[in-house]
Amino acid sequence: MSKIVLILGGGPNVGLNIARVFSSKGSYKTVIVSRNPKEELVKATDLSLQADFTDPRSIKRIFDEVKQKLGVPDVVVYNVAALTVTPDPLSVPLEKFNKDGYRFYWADERTAEGGPKGNAIDGEAHGEFYYELATSEVPLTWDATFVAGKGYVDFNGKLE
């Protein structure tokens, strides 16, 4: 039985390429959710849904629809292009999530030297890295840095 990856935020670069990579591996059904689903996204996934994530009620509806049509997602990628600053995003102890087997990552694409990629991010590299995170037997550090073509790279705190 196929696993399910749910990608919240489907743009033409990172979101689309995450869907393509997971789909190409053959063991995942892909669901992508975007504000305005484009034909390219629809063709690249098993299920394409529309939602505006500025409305918090859309999240429950999306999960309910995915569960009804395909099943419960095994991997959820939050790729929404928005930033909501909270007073303390780490207020829930990580141990609460670890005991249930959840993993949370901040995936950060870098140059080979450890410099920031800025707006020059590689969508396909993001797709490959998210697949690596989802299928790795050993969880990586939460602030996982990677380089296109290499995957995870530990820069030992020496980032530009």
pLDDT at position 160: 61
Question: Each residue of 6-31: pLDDT tens digit?
Answer: 999 988 899 999 999 999 999 999 99
pLDDT of 100 > 90? The answer is no
Which architecture, in CATH terms, is 3-152? 3-Layer(aba) Sandwich (3.40)
Averaged pLDDT score across all residues of the chain: 87
pLDDT at position 87: 63
Question: Each residue of 60-97: pLDDT tens digit?
Answer: 999 999 999 999 999 999 888 755 555 665 666 666 66
Three-class SS state of 132:
helix
Torsion of CA 139, 41, 1, 58, to 10 degrees: 80
The answer to whether the CB of 126 falls within 8 A of the CB of 18 is yes
pLDDT of 34 > 90? The answer is yes
Q: How far from 118 is each of 57, 121, 150, CA to CA, in Å?
A: 31, 7, 18
